[in-house]
Chains A and B, each alone.
Chain A
Amino acid sequence: MSTLFQGDSLRTIAEVAFLVFFGMPAIYWAARWTRTGVSRRYTPQQGLVAGKVILYPGILLLLVTILSQLGFTLAPLLGAAGIVGIAIGFASQTSVSNIISGFFLIAERPFEVGDVIQVGTTVGRVLSIDTLSVKLRTFDNRFIRIPNETLVKSEVTTITRFPIRRIDLSIGVAYKEDIRRVRQILVEVAAENPRALMEPAPVVFFDSYGESSLDLRLAVWATKENFIALKTSLLEEVKERFDREGIEIPFPHRSLYAGEASAPFPIRIVESPREDPPNPEESAP
């Protein structure tokens, strides 16, 4: 510190002022330029990270240079920083873990800003992937912050990763129905809907003999943008078409048997003891 008050102190102050007033804007400009350039060429998320990679080391370097100019010896500072670093490290394990997890998320790119993801029971659109957490907006407009560490540890489904998705509709029909005819009708319903992709072609699977119905599955492909609209319209159209064709969608029902399936259910009529009508003469006053 004594150098500040010696003969060349004015020069030192001028150098520090120069570094502060020109160095800081230069670092910010370089970070912003890098961010814009990388965003244009790659993704906004990668641009954000590239900008931070320039900004934080740049500020650190500038700080070290200023301290050096002011006459601080860095060796004891670095030693102290090591000790402080250990203390902070113990105190901020979670934060550090989130920061490192954030780098994994950026490097692995399981999703990007704008993707729709599902984590546990939460589904939402990714607003940002930040140093400590990922921010989501759910479809009922709630803001959700998920720590990066949680995302690295959990199963994450990126719903909008691929351009097309398959819709599976479970459809039950009565046991009396002709499966071939039902299959044909379901394929026709899908083919008549312009949002349903013709290729990959719609398919009908016979899933199982259900408790009350023959269970079929109609698998139709749609673009991710049309997924919900197509699912809704197909459900409506299947019901309308089944009603028109007289195909029964059964309610759940249960058959009761007494003893064996082939024997009729036994019914016994129990007569109650007969009551004689009252004699009007006896009841007369």
Chain B
Amino acid sequence: MAPPRGDDALPPPWGFHPLDEGTVDSLRLGPRQIWFQRSGTEVLAAGVDGYKGGVDPRVDGDVGESTDGPPESGGWSRWATAGEDGEIFIRPAFPDRPLVLSPERPFRLLPRARARVFVRVPLWIHIELRSGRARGEGDEERAILLTSVPSVTMSDTWWGDVEEGELAYWLPTTARSKMAPELFAPHLAVCPLHLENEADIDLEVERIAFRVNHLTLFAKGSELWADESRVSYQGDEEASHIEMTGKPPVEAKGARLVAGPREPVLRGLRARTFARFRSFPGLGGGV
């Protein structure tokens, strides 16, 4: 079996993986392990969350040819395809909903103060079938999205009140102010978040709605980065000014574009971003 080829910009195990008849191939991204194989014109894929499915959540990477296949909890999904050619392409993407960040140590932003923190966001894994590539340079490459799974299963949470709001994923974060090389992992994108308090009152940062579906993904070597998000609080709890730069952050100068935003980059977006944790007796905690 040929070793998996990396895409020009994507660090492995992202990118192309051969799809050989009768061979089960596997890769692991964070706690998620994925298996895929071809059987004639059919493509089969299976995935398991290592924290639940009996697979040790070890380091990310190519597992290579798998002899045992997925455990019982990860049943195969099947797709009938038009032909017997094509390769699997593993593409990273940001989560499909906003994240509610919960800093392990909430902090207070004084009037006119700024803070720049880094948040590590678990990526979603898009499994695509790409064909046309093998037939020569002149052929147009066709990409079909087979399925999409999160590398880390995040809990649901609600951003808003009990009558109105939006569904989001819950992400506890250390919101560190410096990044160290050992904090990078293939299934995590590092997102710089620039917070600014333009109001005359203190801003308690206990919950942050992070609209990751507008972020762009870049790769520099084995590191995955998002463009910088700038959030400025102007005293109105219901709306803060949000801007995504759309360019690699200063820490990743020269990084290459890997994936565009799920929804186009917004400039001048105003949305509720900060919330203080409040507890409602009889209702449970809430924001």
Please report A residues at the B interface, Cβ cutoff 8 Å.
162-164, 166, 191, 193-203, 219-223, 226
Contacts and interface: CB of A to CB of B under 8 A. Distances in A.
Contact of A164 (B153, B162, B207, B277): B162
Given A197-B157, A198-B155, A163 B165 contact: yes
Contact of B286 (A163, A199, A226): A199
Contact of B158 (A164, A194, A202, A203): A164
Contact size class for B?
20 to 34
Contacts of B285: 199-201, 203
B283 interface: yes
Most chain A CB neighbours (cut-off 10 Å) among B102, B162, B280: B162
Contact residues of B: prevailing secondary structure: strand
A251 B162 CA distance: 36
B284 interface: yes
B283 A166 contact: yes
A162 B170 CA distance: 21
B42 interface: no
A200 B286 contact: yes
Contacts of B280: 200
B100 A199 contact: yes
Nearest to B163: A162
A61 B164 CA distance: 44
B287 interface: yes
A166 B158 CA distance: 12
B145 interface: no
Contact of A201 (B100, B162, B165, B284): B284
Contacts of B277: 199
Given A199-B100, A199-B285, A199-B287, A221 B158 contact: yes
A221 B160 CA distance: 13
B155 A223 contact: no
Interface in B166-201: 167, 170
